[in-house]
Structure 1
Amino acid sequence: MPSPATRSIRLHPRLKYTHGHLGIAASLELPFRFASGSLPIRSPTGMAAVWKWKPAVLLLLLVMTRPPAAEAGGANATAPCPLDLGYVATLPWDRAPCEPPVANGTACCMTLLSVLGVGLASRLRATGRFRLPSAGASAACLRAFSAALAAPPLSLPASLVPGCFPVQSQFAISPDYCAGVTTAAEYVAVAGNASVAGLNASCGADVASMSLCNRCLAAGIDASARLTAAAGNGSKSQNCFYLTVLYAAGISSSAGPDSPVTAACALGLALSTPSPTTSSPTSSSASHTNIAVAATIPIASLLLVSLVALLVWRNRREHTKGRSIQISEERRSRPRPNTGSVMFDICELSKATGGFAERNLIGRGGFGVVYRGVLADGTVVAVKKMLEPDVEGGDEEFTNEVEIISLLRHRNLVPLRGCCIADDDPDEGKQMFLVYDYMPKGSLDQYIFEDGQGRRRPALSWAQRRTILLDVARGLEYLHYGVKPGIYHRDIKATNILLDADMRARVADFGLARRSREGQSHLTTRVAGTHGYLSPEYALYGQLTEKSDVYSFGVLVLEVMSGRRALDLSDPSGVVLITDWAWTHAKAGRPGDVLAQALRKEPSTSVAAMERYVLVGILCAHVTVAFRPSMPEALRMLEGDMDVPDLPDRPQPFGQRIAFDEGETNFSASSILSGGGGPLVDFGDMLR
């Protein structure tokens, strides 16, 4: 089935950086600087197989936040570089993005980061240790890397490395990483023997073809999911996929990371020559082009974004306090002109919430804590205190976003009343708050999942679940198509679906929302959202379209219909993702097996409708973007006004143990990843 035509993409010269996945949140807009001027954003061209990317798409992976500990090694300025960089001149990597004149600095920096990733993976292979031992070693390696690039036969400009890597401690290791993993042995202990065995089996041999590379990357995502679960909801989880990529290239691969095939598949390095390992000249060229061109330089993406994170952190340390929006002398809340938002005073919010008392705490997530409050006029509100208030765009950037969001009015959206910015408390520092209408029935997750004490509110009936899902679909349809430009939520999940007094659903938490541009997809340097709900293309590459929200909505539908969480490590079958679990039942002709026990007690006349919801959820959460419906189409399917198409084939669920006829049991990785390049996902046409 051919992929639909893609849309061309033009990107703003500045990248949105949002720091927070189940951790602290701050929306930061930073220009990348290379020599003089901002870097435009462009990706490798072309995609193989079902990946039909338009030129000018930059695919960014999960962000690596750089911990303050990396600064500690700065004193060791004379440390030697532990990397053998001889491969830089001999590995057949595509040097075109970095050859003078450098038309696209970002593409060059990503290429160099991918090249350096080969050395980092090689060190892991030799020593069992991730990254570099100190900031001094990091600085030494950057100097050596610059010298290797400038020397013949490469003869690239000496300004490339300083321009791409201005923070010399960029590559220093810290224990504040994914689940505290710093060595290969720790990786195995945390990821689990079975998961690592699957990674070794899938990535250990030849990965020259698309299908073989697919298996390798699928196993990598499964291992990363287990690391993420072990890391919990802290910032350490952000680096899990990055460590998995290094492990696959440095440890699992029998050929080693300096093999062109391994570099292209596992490290995403675009190569300049075909792979010699394929059987014929034609197939070799095509296969290797798939790998080299489709590869989106994941290591480069990660390291480049980690540079941004570190720069942000350092700027925040040096940033002086006192940048607050002027509050009126009367210290009262006041409406903002020409908007529906109100600038609240910190004293008013403190009084409303009883001094932000624990008894008024009604929610806690990665981006903030939420309190119930009562304003002076008796209005009940929900006050969200943002956990990371520093915003690169300043207070004006924050209030501008509040203005945009507060103007949205729809019965299935939680209204935003206003905000508050304060930095006059020397103990608290700068604080930012969002003030929403209060939803008395709480969040949807309280009705479909048990809490930490095994408690759950009364089970929802089929009619209630149906109404809730339709409400959410209508809210998302409005965000995508009811406003111009459309808005992508980016964090659709059960805890962000609130219920009003009539048990009608409202989509909440627009602190993550991002406006789109006509005919564009949104590329973000910081993936914001929740594991299990994130679409693969967004989780791995920062590729954001309305179909990213559609994927999250599909996961939500499956959760509501099954009562199972998006990620479930307790399933005896070994299937982690709810999407894979539901897919298995549906393709076996048993969509009814997905239904929660409470729904199986509903009248038989409702079974067909409930199964239709399951199928719509699976379709919305399809790994191939082109197969996902738009929100209006999904809504029509749920309402029964549009037939649900046959489920398109998708790769085998990864992370599942498969028993063969011979009784052999293998830890199988699915081919959810496409194109031979790596790491990349078999999403078809990302942009519809």
Structure 2
Amino acid sequence: MSVCIQSIFLVFFLLGFSDFSATVNGYRPLNRKLADSGCPMNFGVLQKFIESAPSNSQNLNLSTRCQYVLQGLHLVQAEYLKTNGLFLPPLNSSQACWDSYQTLANGYFPDFSIRSRCGFQTNWISEGCMNITSLTQFESIVPQSSLQDVQNSCNQSLSNNSPCSSCTTSLSRLQSSYLPGPEVGNVTECSAYPFIYAAGVVNQFGPTDDGTAMCMFLLSASSPSSNKSNTGLIVGVVVGCVVGLLALILGFWFLLRKWRKWKRKKKLAKFDTTLVSGLDSMSASTTLVKFTFEDIKVATKNFSRDYIIGKGGYGNVYKGVLLDGTEVALKRFKNCSAAGDASFTHEVEVIASVRHVNLVALRGYCTATTKFEGHQRIIVCDLVHNGSLHDHLFGSMEEKLSWPIRQKIAIGTARGLVYLHYGAQPAIIHRDIKASNILLDESFEPKVADFGLAKFAPEGMTHLSTRVAGTLGYVAPEYALYGQLTEKSDVYSFGVVLLELLSGKKALISSTDGKSWLVTDWAWSLVKKGRALDVIEDGMTEWGPVEVMEKYVLLAVLCSHPQLHARPTMDQIVKIMETDLPVPSIPERPIPLVAHIDDIEKSVSSSGSGHISSSAGYQSFTNTT
């Protein structure tokens, strides 16, 4: 649930409630049935959302219908929590509550059985996460600081993108930190509890408010018919406002000129105030430290060149030593502006919302505006002392990594991505998985870093982007060519990194004739000839079982398959790595789009950014297969 929520016109019932306006006269008898059902929850609050259902809603597939059944149920639970202080109805009312819900459905979609079609068991409506049933139990588990964070983020109108994004980020952080326990069924999962709580208890407008319902539950109450009937009134109001506005502009034109001058002087302060306010509300409930600019300068010896440990399009990464002797890594954004502030806030929100042993942890941040340095935006992370995977594979490290270490790095990286895709709520697509973004600690435990390009991904949604971001050689074909972004875009990048880890070759292989090839095509050519083990780097120490190493090669080739549907998911990848599960058969690769790598590089440079152009092609390796 991120910014893209507001752009989706979702209505509640997937149950196929079409042409609802024709059944409005059935409201009153239906309400009486629901009121007499014996269920303590009021399903009647869903009626205004059903009213806005489009005529084609009955064409939605089964999984989508069932998902919105759950979303509607969660809104009803939020209303129940608001009025009764309970998340779940009593177990002895389970049948009555399902009957109430089904009665609501029967009036508009008689052939759809909620429980049998969606696989819900009767008792699941009264059983949820960690045996939490009441508001008191919930608030006893979650620390007051986190509850206050939710209060700060969610007790406001959620109709706009920014408040909604801030609220859902805090809710996801709360769930991952304090509600990791067992669940019963799939009706009220742990991930739903914070949203029910925020809508029913925290938000002053309540769960049935249009903005709250859309942000928390993806339910829209927009009514096309009412919009049409009010068109004349709206037009009249708009015309009147325009006339009045023109008069005001003419009357205050001189004052506006002076105000603009004043505004320019205050612009820097405005950016700082807006950004810092948002970050301060975030850090109030976490361990995030707000560092002063002087703290940062002392830690980095005034940004000494000797302290630079990494560089990128965003700026430099410095090693730093805090006053207590703690070593940290500091990412300093360059050329900061209003747009830079947004990028900075985004990365802080993303990193602060995730906690996993295989993800880099955020320690704090610094925001400042000085006379000589201008805007300063810096994030402070724990320092990972053993460099990056890129350093060990292609840098100055003399000793080659052994098979046990490579296997550990592969599994740890995969686990980190599993958390981003399935543990974080909403899911996060990294978009820039590469060897230099996988850091290694002293025991070679990998930590995925650099979330600057990450995207929140609401469940079931596929992003289409006109501006493709990533690094040449690691970007999935469907994303580079068409801007289609899913979790499997990260799977492709992981497959490339895994091939680099196994072969010791870079994502782009340079040949003696000056041409370049993708490591994915090179590896596929060997696998197709039955020579999978030839992918393994020469001179690797401590070889593992041959069948396991071959399995990893096949898995890497499958992950980096050019066709999206052929790739496994990250959780499937971890299971294959950690168990005896075999690698699924690798489909034939399609006839490739032939484009020499020089053409791709020209396309990148002509796009005006440091990212791949969406028109770039992918190099084939057909001559050797």
TM value normalised by structure 2: 0.50
> In structure 2, what is the equivalent of residue 79 of structure 1?
none
Q: Quick one: distance in 2 between partners of 1:424 and 1:486?
A: 37
Residue 322 of structure 2 aligns with an amino acid whose one-letter code is: L
Which consecutive unaligned segments of at least 5 residues does structure 2 have?
Answer: 9-263, 600-614, 620-625
The CA deviation at 1:347 is: 1.1
Q: Quick one: distance in 2 between partners of 1:343 and 1:365?
A: 24
> In structure 1, what is the equivalent of residue 253 of structure 2?
none
Which residue, out of 566, 571, 578, partners 1:639? 578
Deviations 1:218-265 (A, max 9, x none): xxxxxxxxxxxxxxxxxxxxxxxxxxxxxxxxxxxxxxxxxxxxxxxx
Q: Does 1:476 align with 2:417?
A: yes
Q: Quick one: distance in 1 between partners of 2:437 and 2:265?
A: 34
Taking a change above 3 Å as real, the CA distance of residues 623 and 405 of structure 1, as seen in their structure-2 partners, is same
Q: Does 1:448 align with 2:393?
A: yes
The secondary structure found in structure 1 opposite 2:337 is coil
Confirm or deny: 8 A CA contact 2:360 2:381 kept in the other structure.
yes
> In structure 1, what is the equivalent of residue 184 of structure 2?
none
Taking a change above 3 Å as real, the CA distance of residues 548 and 327 of structure 1, as seen in their structure-2 partners, is closer
Q: Quick one: distance in 1 between partners of 2:519 and 2:502?
A: 11
> In structure 2, what is the equivalent of residue 531 of structure 1?
472
Q: Does 1:413 align with 2:354?
A: no
Confirm or deny: 8 A CA contact 2:492 2:567 kept in the other structure.
yes
The CA deviation at 1:389 is: 2.7
The CA deviation at 1:652 is: 5.2
Residue identity over aligned pairs, in percent, reads 45
> In structure 1, what is the equivalent of residue 587 of structure 2?
648
The CA deviation at 1:393 is: 8.3
Which residue, out of 522, 529, 550, partners 2:491? 550
Q: Quick one: distance in 2 between partners of 1:506 and 1:590?
A: 31
Which residue, out of 398, 406, 412, partners 1:465? 406
The CA deviation at 1:340 is: 3.4
The CA deviation at 1:327 is: 12
The CA deviation at 1:423 is: 2.2
Residue 424 of structure 1 aligns with an amino acid whose one-letter code is: T
Confirm or deny: 8 A CA contact 2:350 2:451 kept in the other structure.
no
Confirm or deny: 8 A CA contact 2:330 2:378 kept in the other structure.
yes
Q: Does 1:540 align with 2:481?
A: yes
Q: Quick one: distance in 2 between partners of 1:653 and 1:362?
A: 39
The secondary structure found in structure 1 opposite 2:320 is strand
Taking a change above 3 Å as real, the CA distance of residues 510 and 606 of structure 1, as seen in their structure-2 partners, is same
Q: Quick one: distance in 1 between partners of 2:282 and 2:617?
A: 47
Confirm or deny: 8 A CA contact 2:491 2:570 kept in the other structure.
yes
> In structure 2, what is the equivalent of residue 611 of structure 1?
550
Q: Quick one: distance in 2 between partners of 1:372 and 1:411?
A: 21
Which residue, out of 550, 562, 568, partners 1:629? 568
The CA deviation at 1:484 is: 1.2
Confirm or deny: 8 A CA contact 1:389 1:432 kept in the other structure.
yes
The secondary structure found in structure 1 opposite 2:370 is strand
The CA deviation at 1:620 is: 0.6
The CA deviation at 1:422 is: 2.1
Confirm or deny: 8 A CA contact 1:418 1:434 kept in the other structure.
yes
Which residue, out of 363, 373, 378, partners 1:433? 378
The CA deviation at 1:379 is: 1.4
> In structure 1, what is the equivalent of residue 328 of structure 2?
381
Q: How does 1:207-606 map to 2 (within 5 A)?
A: 320-326=267-273, 336-392=283-339, 394=341, 398-399=344-345, 401-426=347-372, 428-450=373-395, 455-570=396-511, 574=515, 576-599=517-540, 602-603=542-543, 606=545
Residue 412 of structure 1 aligns with an amino acid whose one-letter code is: N
Residue 503 of structure 1 aligns with an amino acid whose one-letter code is: F
Q: Quick one: distance in 1 between partners of 2:389 and 2:288?
A: 26
The CA deviation at 1:486 is: 0.4
Taking a change above 3 Å as real, the CA distance of residues 371 and 632 of structure 1, as seen in their structure-2 partners, is same
The CA deviation at 1:513 is: 1.6
Kindly tell me the number of residue pairs found equivalent between the two proteins: 343
Q: Quick one: distance in 1 between partners of 2:348 and 2:515?
A: 43
Taking a change above 3 Å as real, the CA distance of residues 614 and 409 of structure 1, as seen in their structure-2 partners, is same
> In structure 2, what is the equivalent of residue 194 of structure 1?
none
Q: How does 1:155-194 map to 2 (within 5 A)?
A: none
Q: Quick one: distance in 1 between partners of 2:340 and 2:303?
A: 27
Residue 353 of structure 1 aligns with an amino acid whose one-letter code is: T
The secondary structure found in structure 1 opposite 2:317 is strand
Confirm or deny: 8 A CA contact 1:324 1:421 kept in the other structure.
no
Confirm or deny: 8 A CA contact 2:594 2:617 kept in the other structure.
no
Confirm or deny: 8 A CA contact 2:594 2:618 kept in the other structure.
no
> In structure 2, what is the equivalent of residue 277 of structure 1?
none
Confirm or deny: 8 A CA contact 1:575 1:656 kept in the other structure.
no
Residue 477 of structure 1 aligns with an amino acid whose one-letter code is: V
The CA deviation at 1:348 is: 0.7
Confirm or deny: 8 A CA contact 2:465 2:484 kept in the other structure.
yes
Say which is worse superposed, 519-528 or 348-357, in terms of deviation.
519-528
Q: Quick one: distance in 1 between partners of 2:266 and 2:567?
A: 44
Q: Quick one: distance in 2 between partners of 1:573 and 1:401?
A: 38
The CA deviation at 1:585 is: 0.5
Taking a change above 3 Å as real, the CA distance of residues 336 and 627 of structure 1, as seen in their structure-2 partners, is same
Deviations 1:318-356 (A, max 9, x none): 995344435999xxx998212332222111111101101
Residue 355 of structure 2 aligns with an amino acid whose one-letter code is: R
Structure number having the greater helix percentage: 2
Q: Quick one: distance in 2 between partners of 1:463 and 1:388?
A: 42
The CA deviation at 1:593 is: 1.1
Q: Quick one: distance in 1 between partners of 2:618 and 2:274?
A: 49
The secondary structure found in structure 2 opposite 1:498 is strand
Taking a change above 3 Å as real, the CA distance of residues 328 and 608 of structure 1, as seen in their structure-2 partners, is closer
The CA deviation at 1:679 is: 8.1
Q: Quick one: distance in 1 between partners of 2:292 and 2:568?
A: 43
Deviations 1:417-444 (A, max 9, x none): 1222222233x32221111100010111
Taking a change above 3 Å as real, the CA distance of residues 391 and 635 of structure 1, as seen in their structure-2 partners, is farther
> Greater Rg, structure 1 or structure 2?
2
The CA deviation at 1:364 is: 1.1
Deviations 1:379-411 (A, max 9, x none): 11100112343343856x743651342131111
> In structure 2, what is the equivalent of residue 185 of structure 1?
none
> In structure 1, what is the equivalent of residue 149 of structure 2?
none
The CA deviation at 1:368 is: 2.5
Taking a change above 3 Å as real, the CA distance of residues 602 and 654 of structure 1, as seen in their structure-2 partners, is farther
The CA deviation at 1:549 is: 0.5
The secondary structure found in structure 1 opposite 2:301 is coil
Q: Quick one: distance in 1 between partners of 2:337 and 2:511?
A: 38
Q: Quick one: distance in 2 between partners of 1:411 and 1:382?
A: 17
Deviations 1:42-89 (A, max 9, x none): xxxxxxxxxxxxxxxxxxxxxxxxxxxxxxxxxxxxxxxxxxxxxxxx
Q: Quick one: distance in 2 between partners of 1:572 and 1:629?
A: 35
Residue 482 of structure 1 aligns with an amino acid whose one-letter code is: G
Confirm or deny: 8 A CA contact 1:568 1:577 kept in the other structure.
yes
The secondary structure found in structure 2 opposite 1:510 is coil
The CA deviation at 1:361 is: 0.7
Residue 403 of structure 1 aligns with an amino acid whose one-letter code is: E
